[in-house]
Amino acid sequence: MDLPGPIHDFLLVFLGSGLILGGLGVVLLTNPIYSTFSLGLVLVCISLFYILSNSHFVVAAQLLIYVGAINVVILFAVMFINGSEYYKDFNLLTIGMALLRWFVQIIWTTRSNQIIEQDLISNSQQIGIHLATDFFLPFEFISIILLVALIGAIAVARQ
Partner 1 sequence: MMLEHILVLSAYLFSIGIYGLITSRNMVRALMCLELILNAVNINFLKGNIFSIFVIAIAAAEASIGSAIVSSIYRNRKSTRINQSTLLNK
d(CA 60, CA 135): 20
CB of 4 to partner 1, least distance (A): 14
Contact 1, 52 (CB under 8 A): yes
59 C-beta neighbours (distance < 10 Å), count: 18
d(CA 24, CA 35): 9
Q: Which is nearer to partner 1, 4 or 83 (CB)?
A: 83
Contact 42, 26 (CB under 8 A): yes
d(CA 155, CA 159): 9
Q: Which is nearer to partner 1, 4 or 89 (CB)?
A: 89
CB of 99 to partner 1, least distance (A): 5
Q: Which is nearer to partner 1, 4 or 53 (CB)?
A: 53
CB of 37 to partner 1, least distance (A): 11
Q: Which is nearer to partner 1, 4 or 115 (CB)?
A: 115
CB of 6 to partner 1, least distance (A): 12
Helix (H, G, I), strand (E, B) or coil at 31: coil
Q: Which is nearer to partner 1, 4 or 112 (CB)?
A: 112
d(CA 75, CA 66): 12
CB of 20 to partner 1, least distance (A): 7
Q: Residue 29, Cα to own-chain centre: how many angstroms?
A: 19
